[in-house]
Amino acid sequence: MSRQITQPLNQVRLTNVAVVRLSRHGHRFEVACYRNKIVNWRQGTETDLTEVLQTERVFTNVSKGQFASTKILKQCFDTSDEEVVCRFILDKGAVQVSDQERAAQLESTMREVASMVAEKCVDGNSGRPYTVTQIRDAMKGAGYMVHPTRNIKQQFLDCVRLIKKKGVLDIERAKMELCLTLLASGGGDDDVSSRRRKALDLLTAEGISRGDVTPATGDDDSKVIFKSDPSKYRRLEEIAKDESVGGRLDITRQCVTESGDVALGSELERRAMAQQQYDEADDEHDVGPDSDSKVEEEDGAGRAMEDLASRVQANLRVDDSDNDDENFSRPTANSRKAQKAAKKKSKKAKRREKEEAAERDERVSAEKERQKRRAERLGLDDEPSCTRINGGAQQQPSGGGEGSKSCTTCGGSFTPAEYRAHFRSEWHGYNVKLKLRGVPPVSEEEFRVVDMDAFFD
């Protein structure tokens, strides 16, 4: 009689489980939830309890399937209603996260922080953005650790502050391009010019340099376009709303970064030209007894900038007299050093190859001379019973016939049985080694009198 196999009918298999745990009065309580519904429940976007819980039961251990008794629920929560207890655990309990989930969450947060830093920060000298890989390496070098639940914006600010403090990268917040528009007040062009000068004075007092202010184009003085650090935006907005200015502040570009090829000399020339254009535009609006002294100071600063640019270009100029091509010039000293080092290394390699080839030829000639002297000493004929063919020792056919086979290394014809034995012989092995070294093979008579170990040692 066969035995019937029975399976439990009331068994519920829980998959994709997220456990919410709460300890109360020395007892542990757990509920089994769906992973993507706990956050929605706590944010208030999900109100249906059946969509959050996999089963409306309270456990003491979800993994073992152990339920909490009614007596313990009554003792710890003053009620035996499991739905009320589940709601309490969902609101107050801690979500249990596995190691893989925690690592994935930290990696996602790290990626978001690094992307925000790469997007909103630039190099302090060149004004060019960093890549995400460079930012992540800098975060690792500075020892910054992300927090999975903190605000990304706050972590971004803390990360930039720590990288600057540690000096891992020369990093700064990318400047914003703002436009201060002077609203019409009915006072005419003189009123607009005076308010523009007042706005420029206030911007200078807030740390906005003259090089960051774009010179006015044409006769329109109602707009002041400048670059500023994002941390100063609120203060600049207060300046724009000041009664003496009477303007409106707009953001034209969120992040200002440099792009394209760059050279130090051209960059200094560009900045000097921008400073000169600003000075020329500002001279037209300067009035008062102190304007002449200001112009002289600004002209001196412009000339100093031009002198600096010319000196840097002179230092960067490369002498083309050593080049075969007149149109070719190396851009930096570092590339010249690298090319010299590579050329020096190639010369050493060529010299080493020549020395090795000379040593190999010397060993081959010595072996040939030694074999010749040994043959003369033993009285061997110059043309023994074997005949040379193509530098090899052609052995006379021992059996002859259509079934014979020849050896291309040692020469000679052999029967099938002798052919197999020949390939296992020391004579054939010795000729193979000679062939690899570029030495002509020897005949069987020469092999009997030759010293095998002397040549290969």
Question: Residue-wise over 23-45: b if at least 16 C-beta within 10 A, else e?
Answer: ebeeeebbbbbbeebbeebeeee
User: Where do the H-state alpha helices sit in 210-332?
Assistant: 233-240, 264-283, 291-316
- Name the pairing type of β-strands 223-228 and 213-214: antiparallel
- The closest of 44, 49, 55, 46 to 14, measured between CA atoms, is 55
pTM greater than 0.75 (yes/no)? no
Distance CA 201, CA 199 (A): 5
Distance CA 89, CA 203 (A): 55
pLDDT of residue 404: 78
Q: Is the pLDDT of residue 301 over 90?
A: no
212-249 pLDDT, tens digit each: 788 776 666 778 888 888 888 888 888 888 877 888 88
pLDDT of residue 112: 92
Burial class of residue 357, CB neighbours in 10 A (0-12, 13-18, 19+): exposed
Contact assessment for residue 138 and residue 171, using Cβ atoms and an 8 Å cutoff: yes
Dihedral sign of CA atoms 350, 356, 361, 362 in order: positive
pLDDT of residue 400: 47
Q: Is the pLDDT of residue 261 over 80?
A: no
Give the range among 114-123, 220-229, 316-325, 333-342 with minimum mean pLDDT: 316-325
Contact assessment for residue 19 and residue 31, using Cβ atoms and an 8 Å cutoff: yes
Distance CA 226, CA 210 (A): 9
Give the range among 160-164, 290-294, 432-436 with minimum mean pLDDT: 290-294
**Side chain identity at residue 89, one-letter code:** I
Q: Is the pLDDT of residue 331 over 60?
A: no
Per-residue H/E/C for 122-178: EECCCCCECCHHHHHHHHHHHCCCCCCCCCHHHHHHHHHHHHHHHCCCCEEECCEEE
Say how many CA atoms lie within 13 Å of 73 toward its Cβ: 19
Distance CA 313, CA 457 (A): 63
Burial class of residue 56, CB neighbours in 10 A (0-12, 13-18, 19+): middle
Q: Is the pLDDT of residue 174 over 60?
A: yes
Cβ neighbours around 185 below 10 Å, total? 10
pLDDT of residue 162: 92
Distance CA 233, CA 241 (A): 12
**DSSP string for 331-400:** S-HHHHHHHHHHHHHHHHHHHHHHHHHHHHHHHHHHHHHHHHHHHHHHT--SS-SSEEETTEEEPPPSS-
Backbone phi and psi for residue 55, each to the nearest 5 degrees, phi listed first: -150, 140
Q: Decide which of 92 and 444 is more confident.
A: 92
Q: Is the pLDDT of residue 285 over 60?
A: no
387 confidence band (pLDDT: 50, 70, 90): very low
154-168 pLDDT, tens digit each: 999 999 999 989 888
Residue 171, beta-bridge partner list: 123
Q: Calculate the dihedral angle through the C-alpha atoms of 136, 139, 144, 148, rounding to the nearest 10 degrees.
A: -20
What CA–CA distances, in Å, run from 70 to 22, 33, 166? 17, 21, 58
- The closest of 281, 272, 264, 269 to 302, measured between CA atoms, is 272
327 confidence band (pLDDT: 50, 70, 90): very low
Q: Is the pLDDT of residue 411 over 90?
A: no
Distance CA 396, CA 387 (A): 8
pLDDT of residue 377: 72
pLDDT of residue 73: 92
Helix (H, G, I), strand (E, B) or coil at 17: strand
**Side chain identity at residue 380, one-letter code:** L
What's the CA angle centered on 169, arms 129 and 266, to 5 degrees?
A: 50
448 confidence band (pLDDT: 50, 70, 90): confident
Distance CA 393, CA 411 (A): 5
Q: Look up residue 171 and give its DSSP letter.
A: E
Distance CA 200, CA 111 (A): 40
